[in-house]
Amino acid sequence: MAALVASRLRDIPDFPQPGIVFKDFTPLLADGAAFEALVSDIAQRYRGQVDVLVGIEARGFILAAAVAYELGLGMVPVRKAGKLPGETLKESYALEYGTAEIEVHTDAFEPGQRVLVLDDVLATGGTAEACAQLVERAGASVAAIEVVLELGFLDGRSRLAGHVVNAILTV
């Protein structure tokens, strides 16, 4: 899977601002066979191990929805502040570029549900850390954090101590 993912990612220099190399996974999504292989790979590793999927806005939604469908499970969106209509919990965090706030509905989970968090890229780990805090504040348990690509040089993993973190590809 790592080689397939590597072959379907592309670097976009200086996006969204100078100095950032954006890891674009739209070529992976556009390749039906590669997307299916990715979703199947993730789903089979967590089948029976998790109760619900969380996708982090926005690219995490694509992955979490597909894996949830494959497993016959539900999917909970963790969204940027101000997007969810119901009562929410909120966390602020620092990004590789800028700062942000994310939210989840307070009633998104059943107590103790095992959650698989999905996103495309693990960079500084701030987003995943904030997401894990939201999941736990909402009464569920983070079973694992799964990303397609980990930027190892940013050491986001160190902010996620105590969590199972898996990256299909680390650069």
Provide the minimum distance between the beta carbon of 24 and ligand AMP in the complex, in angstroms, as a whole number: 7
Please report, for residues 61, 150, 159, the alpha-carbon distance to residue 137 in angstroms, rounded to integers and kept in the order given. 21, 25, 17
Kindly tell me which of 104 and 128 has the beta carbon lying closer to ligand AMP.
128
**Rounded (10°) angle between helices 59-71 and 32-46:** 60
Q: Decide if residue 77 touches ligand AMP (CB under 6 A).
A: no
Which of 31, 41, 70, 96 is in the footprint of ligand AMP by CB under 6 A?
96
Q: Decide if residue 131 touches ligand AMP (CB under 6 A).
A: no
Which of 78, 156, 165, 167 is in the footprint of ligand AMP by CB under 6 A?
156
Q: Decide if residue 119 touches ligand AMP (CB under 6 A).
A: yes
Tell me, what amino acid is at 126? G
Please report, for residues 17, 121, 148, the alpha-carbon distance to residue 169 in angstroms, rounded to integers and kept in the order given. 24, 10, 6
Closest CA to 146 of 131, 168, 129: 168
| Residue of 70, 96, 114, 136 with catalytic role | 96
Q: Is 96 a catalytic residue?
A: yes
Binding-residue pattern over the window 34 to 73 for ligand AMP, x denoting contact by CB under 6 A: ----------------------x--x--------------
Tell me which residues touch ligand AMP (CB under 6 A).
Answer: 20-23, 56, 59, 95-96, 119-128, 156
